[in-house]
Amino acid sequence: MKVSLEVNGRTCEADVEPRKTLLDTLREDLKLVGSHAGCEHGVCGACTVLIDGEPARACLMFAVQADGYEITTIEGLAPAPGELGVVQDAFCETHGLQCGYCTPGMILTAHALLNRNAEPSREDIVDAISGNICRCTGYGQIVEAVELAAERLRKANVPRNERGAHPNAPVNDPAAEHDAPQEGVLEAAEADTPHGGRW
């Protein structure tokens, strides 16, 4: 069957069997291998992507079900090639990853949480990532990473909504045409944080 998917703001065509999951289609047909195949039956969360801004398991959806939704993968979170998004950067800063296998799913789940909740409590974060299994870190530094990202996003003054910022597009508040920085958000936030966010 032919499917047309909206992935990271681009329309992608693929010809797939009905039984091919969205995950396998992203990885094999669209060559977006950032979404990881872990358990392939909905337990581990490594394949988490955003469907219309909500985290969802790409292994529990067939590609033929996914047309018309806005799909965001980890590749869609970076503001520009070679750069990291705020949440990605926070995971690096706090050592919120070791082997990295769960990281794309963790980051997309955290990204969706922070789009809905600017000041999540520790419990909110733990609940949000409860469906993502990490076998390295013990979760402590992952929770720290999300807390740091939340703090930086609050300071960055970037408008957010439930569906999230459109991937690959700078989001500017039209009401603050001259004030909102196009670039340098991270540097500004870092300057506000003692020791560059490390504690």
Q: Minimum distance from CB of 9 to another protein (Å)?
A: 20
* DSSP state for residue 147 in the 8-state scheme: H
Give the x-and-dash track for 157-186 against another protein (CB under 8 A): ------------------------------
56: left (phi over 0), alpha (psi -120 to 50) or beta: beta
Q: Does 62 bind another protein (CB under 8 A)?
A: yes
- The distance of closest approach from Cβ of residue 187 to another protein in the complex, given in angstroms and rounded to an integer, is 32
> Is residue 124 exposed (0-12), middle (13-18) or buried (19+ Cβ within 10 Å)?
middle
**Residue at token pair 């909102």:** 180
Of 26, 90, 128, 149, the one binding another protein by CB under 8 A: 128
Among residues 39 and 191, whose Cβ is nearest to another protein?
39
Residue 118 interacting with another protein (CB under 8 A): no
Question: Can you tell me which of 8, 35, 109, 115 binds another protein, judged by CB under 8 A?
Answer: 109
Give the range of 25-33, 62-70, 75-83, 184-192 binding another protein by CB under 8 A: 62-70
DSSP letter (8 states) at residue 21: B
Instruction: Show the beta-strand stretches assigned E in the chain.
Output: 2-7, 10-15, 48-51, 54-57, 70-72
User: Would you tell me how many other CB atoms lie within 10 Å of the CB of residue 195?
Assistant: 7
Instruction: Mark the segment that binds another protein (CB under 8 A) among 38-46, 151-159, 172-180, 187-195.
Output: 38-46
| Cβ neighbours for 56, distance < 8 A, ≥ 6 positions apart | 48, 49, 50
Site for another protein, rule CB under 8 A? 1, 17-19, 21, 39-43, 45, 48, 51, 54-57, 59-62, 64-65, 109, 112-113, 127-128, 130-132
